[in-house]
Amino acid sequence: MRRALIGSRKLSEGNKQEQIKKYFNQCHSYALAGDIMTSGLCPTGPDAIAQYAYAKAIDKGLASISQLEVYVSGQLLIDKSVLPYKEHSIIMPSTLCAERDYILKQVMTLNHFNACGEYALGMHRRNVHQVLSKDLKSPVDEVYTWCMIDTHGEPLGGTRTAIKIAQLYGIPVINDYDPNVTKNKLSSFTF
C-alpha cells in the first residue's frame, strides 16, 4: 500500500507529545507492514515524524529504503535537510509543470495560486506529487495526516492542498488532528 504521510508543522508546536507519539507509532507500523510512504522533506511536523519512523524501521532492518518516496522542489532543500535518508529524496520533474499547475488550479482559487511566491508554489506543487506520485498518474491509496481544521471542518494551511487533491481523486483521508489534546506548552518529544 502507498500512503501519503503528511500534515501541518503545527504538530511540532506546543505540548502535543501524545499526538506526536500516536502519529509516529502509526507511521512506524506502516513501515513494518511494508507500506510505501510518500511525503515531503519538511524539517518538522508529520512529514519529519514519518521519515523518522521509517528510518527507525530501516535502521533495524525491518523496512527498506525503497519504501521512501519523498518529494522536494529542489536540491537545495535536500542539502539543507537534517532528516535521515534525505539523499533518497525525489526532485519534482520539471517536465510536468503545466500538468501539476492544472491540478493545483482545480483545488486552489486562482487568486491564491497567483499570490503564492515561488517557494510557497513549490511546496504546493510538491503536494501534488505526494498524492499523485512522480508521474502524476499513480495516486496513493490513502492519506494519513495531522492537519488543523477550521470551525467548518475544512483543513487549514498548505496541507489543505494535498487533502483537496486527495478528495478530488476519491482517495480516503485520515486526519489524526484532535483539538481537545492541543495545549500551549513547548513540546519536548524526541525520536
Q: Which three cell numbers stand for residue 102?
A: 492544472
Residue 11 has, within 13 A of its CA and on its CB side, a CA count of 30
pTM for this one? Answer: 0.91
Residue pair 32/167 in contact by the 8 Å Cβ criterion: no
- The sheet that has 142-146: what strands, in order across it? 90-91, 68-72, 36-40, 2-7, 142-146, 173-175
CA distances for 184 relative to 13, 38, 139, 148, angstroms: 8, 30, 36, 15
Q: How far apart are CA 137 and CA 123, in angstroms?
A: 19
Q: 12-60 pLDDT, tens per residue?
A: 998 899 999 999 999 999 999 999 999 999 999 999 999 999 999 999 9
Q: How far apart are CA 127 and CA 47, in angstroms?
A: 11
Residue pair 5/28 in contact by the 8 Å Cβ criterion: no
Q: How far apart are CA 136 and CA 132, in angstroms?
A: 5
pLDDT along the chain (191 residues), means of 10: 96 91 97 98 95 98 98 94 97 93 94 90 94 97 96 91 96 88 37 41
Give DSSP secondary structure letters for 36-60.
Answer: EEEEE--SSHHHHHHHHHHHHHHHT
Q: How far apart are CA 168 and CA 158, in angstroms?
A: 16
